[in-house]
Chain A
Amino acid sequence: MGQYQQRISSNDDNYYYWPGGSLHWFQAIELGNSDWGGLAGFFRWRNVDVPQGSTITSAYITLSRWYDSTLTIKNRIYGIDEDNTADYTSDATGRALTSASVDWNPNSSWTENVEKTSGDIKSVIQEIINRGGWSSGNSLGIRINDNGGTAGDNGPFVSKGTAGTYYPQLTINYTGGSSPSSSISPSSSPSASKSLSISLSPSVSDSPSPSPMASFHGLRIAKSGRNVLLTDNPSDMIFDSDYGTLKYFDKQTLAVQFDANNDVTGKNTYTHDLGYYPFVEVFTRVYIGSPSGNWEYCPFAGAGAAILYKANYKLTTTDITVYGEIDGISTSVWNFEFLIFMYKNDLKLS
């Protein structure tokens, strides 16, 4: 898997179009719907080293507001449908757009220098990368149009010409594609048995075996019955270094106990102190008396004769808190046991 991630590098690579024909750049990029009509922002990233024929697995733009504010805008993101988009020193409003577009309606609360990430625009990027004249290292353009926002809901975003460092950024994650590097045949793969097919790349071979796929640099282990040389489908792989995995980190147990004579809910907390929201899986079992019962995927709700019981959890960047609760009439001591599997994968929600 490859990644391109760059910020706008020149004042001439970002500008916006004000209704009525005025062009603006340097200081900020104004987006949204003004009292005089919708605005259009133009962005261009240089040296986009994504090979033609790549499969775009995800792509997005990050923007930052120039200052704190509440601003509700509705955007539609297009690509500039050109092989190698020129800068914006001349009016670009007539440039052809991709047929693919993605709507982006970010939440209204904006904080200065806190970037917001668009929805996935891989379809837009894919359309450009698939162009016959596209080649790695070309410049790629994006246009963001107002898409029916409320008149007067417009505001400035950080541009290359704005003080600070949060210029518009483009991130493209991709796999495959024709590489400008020398041709490498995967024919030296040590296919060990019928049940295991491994490709270790780069591995150079003189053998004239066919290369039905684009060159691949990494490690793949195919599932039984699948040919690692003939598929790019990640579902055919036991392991594929183009794709991340859930990195198992820790397992913890927590118990919640409360006497229904006094309370109907209880909680407990484990401090992980990872500094980010980790990917977790939680299982729970509920019992009165001795430990018993099945482990259920949490959150969950169950029911007894006259009781509804339920369990849930919350994550923060430092803790995981688990909760148990009953609804109904009971005089028993209730036990909620939680089994927490934690992974070192960042949810990136802050």
Chain B
Amino acid sequence: MTQQVVKVAKKGKSAFSTDPNDFVFHSAYNTFKIIEEGTKEITLAASTDDQTFTEAHTLEPFTIPIVTAFAKRDAASQVFAPNGIDVELWSAKGGMSGDVTFNYVQADKDNIIFNFDNADGSTVAVTIRYFILG
């Protein structure tokens, strides 16, 4: 039996192509859906590492979701992705020495979990934007 699919080709590409990269949408391949998204405002304690914050999700029975997140210090204009790299996250200059670090984003079946270090001697307000994909 011929497999029937729904395909939308990219501009300039043939819908009869067999290369999935030639398609904007192809029903033989899953599309990442944004199942949930939101923002979370947190305040990092001064001079404290390993600060964890959680945000409940309600994806049961979808178990542990795929999550990603970005964070922005409220007083700054730059946004960062998570991963525990000791870089100068919030400075306007491009050097790399530690201040605030967005260590990781994780998920379990109940919560999205965010972790930060703050080497600054003051509290730091941060806004997180998170996405659950599926």
- List residues of chain A with CB under 8 Å of any chain B CB: 57-58, 60, 105-109, 116-117, 119-120, 122-123, 192-196, 198, 221, 223, 233-235, 237-240, 243-246, 248, 265, 267, 277, 279-280, 282, 297-301, 310-317, 321, 323, 325, 345, 347-350
Give the contacting residue for A58; candidates B25, B37, B74; CB below 8 A.
B37
Extra contacts besides A107-B125, A109-B74, A116-B41 (19): CB < 8 Å: A57-B35, A58-B36, A108-B43, A109-B75, A120-B38, A193-B3, A195-B3, A196-B4, A238-B28, A238-B29, A239-B25, A239-B33, A265-B94, A277-B79, A279-B131, A323-B96, A325-B87, A349-B79, A349-B127
**Distance of B53 from chain A, by nearest CB (Å):** 11
Pair B38/A107 contact, Cβ less than 8 Å: no
Pair A299/B33 contact, Cβ less than 8 Å: no
Give the distance in Å from the alpha carbon of A323 to the alpha carbon of B1 in the complex.
Answer: 52
Give the distance in Å from the alpha carbon of A109 to the alpha carbon of B87 in the complex.
Answer: 25
Give the distance in Å from the alpha carbon of A297 to the alpha carbon of B85 in the complex.
Answer: 12
Overall SS of chain A's interface = strand
Residue of B nearest to A219 (CB): B6
Give the distance in Å from the alpha carbon of A195 to the alpha carbon of B1 in the complex.
Answer: 11
- For this complex, 7 residue pairs linking A to B, each with C-beta atoms less than 8 Å apart, are A106-B41, A119-B40, A243-B35, A244-B34, A245-B31, A245-B32, A347-B70
Give the distance in Å from the alpha carbon of A311 to the alpha carbon of B87 in the complex.
Answer: 9
Give the distance in Å from the alpha carbon of A198 to the alpha carbon of B96 in the complex.
Answer: 51
B residues less than 8 Å from A313 (CB atoms): 80-81
Pair B38/A239 contact, Cβ less than 8 Å: no
Pair A349/B58 contact, Cβ less than 8 Å: no
Interface residues on B, range: 35 or more
Give the distance in Å from the alpha carbon of A116 to the alpha carbon of B41 in the complex.
Answer: 10
Give the contacting residue for B38; candidates A60, A105, A233; CB below 8 A.
A60
Pair A299/B87 contact, Cβ less than 8 Å: yes
Residue of A nearest to B75 (CB): A109
Chain B 56-83 interface residues, beta-carbon cutoff 8 Å to A: 56, 58, 61-62, 70, 72, 74-75, 77-83
Pair B62/A233 contact, Cβ less than 8 Å: yes
Pair A265/B129 contact, Cβ less than 8 Å: no
Give the distance in Å from the alpha carbon of A244 to the alpha carbon of B131 in the complex.
Answer: 11
- List residues of chain B with CB under 8 Å of any chain A CB: 1-6, 24-25, 27-41, 43, 55-56, 58, 61-62, 70, 72, 74-75, 77-83, 85-87, 89, 94-96, 125, 127, 129, 131, 133-134
Residue of A nearest to B134 (CB): A235
Give the distance in Å from the alpha carbon of A57 to the alpha carbon of B81 in the complex.
Answer: 24
A349/B129 contact (C-beta < 8 A), A107-B41, A238-B31 known: yes
B residues less than 8 Å from A348 (CB atoms): 39, 129
Pair B79/A312 contact, Cβ less than 8 Å: no
Pair A314/B125 contact, Cβ less than 8 Å: no
Residue of B nearest to A243 (CB): B33
**Distance of A252 from chain B, by nearest CB (Å):** 16
Give the distance in Å from the alpha carbon of A238 to the alpha carbon of B89 in the complex.
Answer: 37
Residue of B nearest to A313 (CB): B81
Residue of B nearest to A266 (CB): B94
B residues less than 8 Å from A314 (CB atoms): 78-80, 89
A193/B79 contact (C-beta < 8 A), A108-B125, A119-B55, A246-B32 known: no
A residues less than 8 Å from B5 (CB atoms): 196
A residues less than 8 Å from B131 (CB atoms): 279
Give the distance in Å from the alpha carbon of A60 to the alpha carbon of B36 in the complex.
Answer: 13
B residues less than 8 Å from A195 (CB atoms): 3, 28
Give the contacting residue for B81; candidates A109, A120, A299, A323; CB below 8 A.
A299
